[in-house]
Amino acid sequence: MKLIITRRQSNLLIKEAMGVPKPIEFWVDSLSSLIKDGLLMLVSSDDTSVFFDGSDVQEKVSSLGWSPSSEKFIKFPLAEPKVNLKLVVVPDEEIKIGDDYVNNASFDTVDMDIREATFDDGVTRPLLVGGTINLELSIPQSHYDNVTFVELFDDEIKPYVEAVLFHELTHVYEFYNRLLNSSLDPSFENLSSTSSMMNKMGLVDDWDELMFLVYLHLSFELNARVSEVYGLIRNKNIKTKDEFVNFLKTSRAFSYAKRLRNFKADKYYDDFEVPKENIDRIREYDGKETPIEEIKEIILQQLVDNWVVSYKQLVDDFSDDESISVPKLSSKVTSSPLNFLKFWEKRFNSAGEDSIRKISKLYSLL
């Protein structure tokens, strides 16, 4: 028997396989529509911000087809998130690429409740209630003065807003699935990411770049980036492979993936720049003109040691619960800066290659 599926069904299956969760698309469309409503409200106001509480958002999504019995809700049971929209007026020349329109975006889950609820299918599952979507848009001065920022949203800003909504909602969706499958125990990914954020101190730029790549290579962040690219693609009139390739060249997610794939431990080590104040401090302490390569090794080893202390502290915190299996870190990895870098090189390269492959396959959805 031959199985025949429609083009739409095929696209849905492809999106799922590439890490673009189907259930969040409804929320992206609904929130995008709500954001335009907010912009329309600001047209006749001197305010530059508007806040929608949970009931406002729920009324909007219900008007667009949300219901507790829908498959979209059952697979991603989110209800009553709040939306905080803010405009930041900037000089026209500050907007150079589409990503510049989105100054900041986040889904703050601090005020989100997780409740047990019995759904219409009779199954009791967790229900996500609340949370706050924060969105800060940069509006060129001329469009703000001429009150044409709603038209600008329709013409240019919307794809980038929807891209970040896909990104943030993918994080929440994946958290929900881990919650559903009781897989929230700390993994090496979770602990290494937290350790890296704790050690991104703004003192050594090259080290902060490495810490950012540690976060960037995590599977949940890569999946969110794929969703982000899909959010852009679906709003672009891309018809040929060449147009798709040119689009990728301007994609932030694709450039991040290339940074991961192309990372080389030896090059990073050779190019690592030690801030002048650190050089002066070590040479003053040594009382001699300590060679720069020796200083580089000292600084990098200190940074690696600090990272390890943070990681081990997190391990110790979780180890108090004997029911949780906590991943250990090999002493060989941290025995020298170069070993540490080579450990991440393999992970970065693999993650970058996987991300590029998934993003490139989005062409099949066009």
CA–CA dist 139, 157 (Å, integer): 9
Provide the 8-state DSSP code for 157. I
The predicted pLDDT at position 189 comes to 65
Q: Which residue has the higher pLDDT, 276 or 197?
A: 276
Tell me the two tokens of residue 15: 């999106």
Share of the chain above pLDDT 90, in %: 46
Asked whether the beta carbons of 173 and 107 are under 8 A apart, the reply is no
Q: Find the radius of gyration of the CA atoms of the chain.
A: 23
φ, ψ (nearest 5 deg) of residue 86: -135, 140
The predicted pLDDT at position 322 comes to 54
pLDDT band at 300 (very low <50, low <70, confident <90, very high): very high
Q: Which of 231, 177, 224 is nearest to 28 (CA)?
A: 231
Region 216-222: mean pLDDT is 85
Region 298-319: mean pLDDT is 83
Tell me the two tokens of residue 97: 């690429």
Count Cβ neighbours within 10 Å for each residue of 75-110 and write b for 16 or more, e otherwise: ebbbbbbbbbbbbeebeeeebeebbebbbebebebe
- Greatest mean pLDDT range, 19-33, 145-159, 190-204, 279-293: 145-159
- pTM exceeds 0.85 for this model: no
- pLDDT per position as a tens digit, 142-161: 999 999 999 999 999 999 99
Region 301-318: mean pLDDT is 82
pLDDT band at 231 (very low <50, low <70, confident <90, very high): confident
The H or E element containing residue 303 is helix 292-319
Region 164-187: mean pLDDT is 80
Share of the chain above pLDDT 70, in %: 86
CB atoms within 10 A of CB 338: 16
Q: Which residue has the higher pLDDT, 4 or 116?
A: 116
Region 162-183: mean pLDDT is 85
Q: Which residue has the higher pLDDT, 215 or 239?
A: 215
pLDDT band at 163 (very low <50, low <70, confident <90, very high): very high
- pLDDT per position as a tens digit, 170-179: 989 988 887 7
Name beta bridge partners: 86: 49, 136
Q: How far is CA 154 from CA 61, 118, 126, 187, 230, in A?
A: 20, 39, 36, 41, 18
pLDDT band at 327 (very low <50, low <70, confident <90, very high): low
Name residues whose C-beta falls within 8 Å of residue 106's C-beta, 6 or more positions apart in sequence. Answer: 133, 134, 168
Is the model's pLDDT at 95 over the cut of 80?
Answer: yes
Domain range annotation of the chain: 19-162, 185-366
